[in-house]
Amino acid sequence: MMELADTQAARRRPLAVALTVGTVVALLLGGYVMLVWCYGRGGQNIPYMKNWAIGQNWYFTSLRQSLSVVNAEAAQAATQGTAAQAAAPTYPTAGLISAGVGSLMTLVLTFLRLRFAGFWLHPIGYILGNTYFTYMVWGSLLVAWVVKWVALRIGGPRLVREKMTSFFAGVFVGGVGGMLFWDVVALVLLGQGVRDVYTCVP
């Protein structure tokens, strides 16, 4: 949004304040509403919460694996000697190495992106490449890439910067507005007892 403000010669300070206030309000309101739903209906009774938000057992996979290794080492030490001679604690380094390599690659991609104008790989794409977010939006990203590629071939960077940026900013705002509108409609219908509604909220 700040980059869009620069391209459209908009004032940065009011936009930064609006983005900050919106983020804080969204976090507080979203957290409050989610807690109300979870305590009121029960997290297991909300499909999104049950299947995703509170049902991510894979988060604990590395913990369970580490505990099983430590327990096996402790049991082996107890059978071969005294409990005081238990195996020395081990610290898994794979996660730290992965984070370090990922951080280094992100810095390298950022440098290449700044150094070469036509460098095609964006560091944000590298960061989000294996996330659930990308799984949900890869089709939209592909369409956006095709549209931009065609526009660059037809009219060059000037067409993208002066015409298409403001147009698709409006498309984005319109899409968000449409989602909010139908969420409000769905919440009203849910309050009246209708359950078969289209909504982004549980």
Q: What is the structure's pLDDT at 83? A: 52
Q: Looking at the domain assignment, is residue 57 inside a domain?
A: no
DSSP reduced 3-state for 82? coil
Contact 87, 74 (CB under 8 A): yes
Domain assignment present for 193: yes
pLDDT of residue 84: 47
Q: Is residue 150 part of a domain?
A: yes
Q: Please report, for residues 2, 24, 35, 70, 157, the alpha-carbon distance to residue 171 in angstroms, rounded to integers and kept in the order given.
A: 17, 24, 32, 54, 20
Q: Classify the C-alpha dihedral 121-123-126-132 as positive or negative.
A: negative
In a domain, 36, yes or no: no
pLDDT of residue 104: 95
pLDDT for position 89: 60
- Which residues constitute the domain of residue 150? 131-202
List the chain residues with pLDDT less than 70. 53, 81-92, 198-202
Kindly state whether residues 202 and 138 are assigned to the same domain: yes
Residue 19 lies in a domain: no
- pLDDT score recorded for residue 113: 87
Spatial separation of the C-alpha atoms in residues 188 and 27, rounded to whole Å: 22
pLDDT of residue 106: 94
